[in-house]
Structure 1
Amino acid sequence: MIWYTVLVLAVAAERMAELAVARRSSRWSLARGGVESGQGHYPAMVLLHTGLLAGCLYEAWAAGRPFVPLVGWSMVAVVVAAQALRWWCIGTLGPRWNTRVIVVPGLPRVTRGPYRWLRHPNYVAVAAEGVALPLVHGAWCTAAVFAVGNTALLTTRIRCEEAALSAAADSRPSPGVRA
């Protein structure tokens, strides 16, 4: 169980690194006229993701959930793949990646990297990690609660992002028209 605690703490440390990247990205975007949307759902997202990490540890320790090697090691692989996808997204978007919805008007939509195939690949990583991390050590209640909460949150979040991206695209001058 100690190694599982180390894994969850490593994911927590990774999340802190994401927040550092997001703060830097926020400054970059806002300095270029970025507009933030969806501030109302951000606290719920922070609560859900903090609850995921706490729930993983609480359920595994308090309920004495066992490590089932076939499931556990498979879920470790999913967690690692989710981290790789998330950092691919961060690398692809560069300073435009953020934990908040901040869109710089006039910038074109990114269509390279994982965005060639998926509109919101970071959320695939979030969903996969949010189910896999608890299941590494049998915390199925945490996985289920996160899956339901994340589905509701992402429904709101994706609508917010799409609206913000559309508004930013509408503010771009048409090709051949001088601003």
Structure 2
Amino acid sequence: MKPPPGLPGGSESAARRRGQWLVALQFLLIAGLLTLAAGGWAEASGLRRAAAIGLGLAGLGLMAAAVGAQRLGNFRIHPEPQAGGRLVRGGPYRWLRHPMYSAVLLCGMAALLLAGPGLLAAALLVALAGVLQQKAVMEEAWMARVHPEYPAFARARGRFLPRLRKR
């Protein structure tokens, strides 16, 4: 599958390689956040722990719902859609275009709460949000090419948060 026009990289292999780097960077940032969170657990107050557990569970729940809605047939960590995949509209995809990325960000916020004060965890979370934004833009460009109905689907849903008003 060739990358759609406008995808960074210009060529199929360059776009795929960029997607692979974004996936690798995503996991590196998540590992950094988890390391900081593990180190901050002992010093965290009961309220911070409870909030972090709540956010983490919300993220895991959203992730499970997204995977369940896809029935694992479409699941792919790379921004390029799976060949022969379908456009999922059920489950959390009724409200969000990227519920898995939203779940990762919720879990990242939980890690930030546990990490405690400091700029490093905040910087890692901001960088993770930037990486997920780039992956989402790439994925949406590919999805629009593979699924002609995707632009209308996208207009009706928020990228990472549900829309308050319909467009």
Query: Is TM (by shorter chain) over 0.5?
Result: yes
Q: CA deviation at 1:141?
A: 3.3
1:123 is aligned, of 85, 101, 114, to 101
Say if 2:49 is the partner of 1:78.
Answer: no
Pairwise mapping of residues 1-179 of structure 1 onto structure 2 (< 5 A)? Answer: 38-58=16-36, 61=39, 66-93=43-70, 94-104=72-82, 107-138=85-116, 140-170=118-148
Structure 1 residue runs without a partner (length 5+): 1-34, 171-179
The structure with the largest alpha-carbon Rg is 1
Q: CA deviation at 1:85?
A: 0.8
* Greater fraction helix: 1
> 1:108-136: CA deviations, max 9, x gaps?
41100110111111111011111212322
Q: What is the TM-score of this pair, normalised by structure 1?
A: 0.63
The alignment's C-alpha RMSD in Å is 3.0
Q: Residues 44, 139 of structure 1: CA spacing in aligned structure 2 closer, same or farther, 3 A cutoff? A: farther
What is the aligned-residue identity percentage? 23
Deviations along 1:51-83, whole A, 9 cap, x unmatched? 43344435764x897211111211111101101
Of 125-134 and 102-111, deviating more is 102-111
Shift of 1:102: 3.4
* 1:145 positional shift: 1.6
Paired with 1:143 and 1:123, the residues of 2 have a C-alpha distance of 18
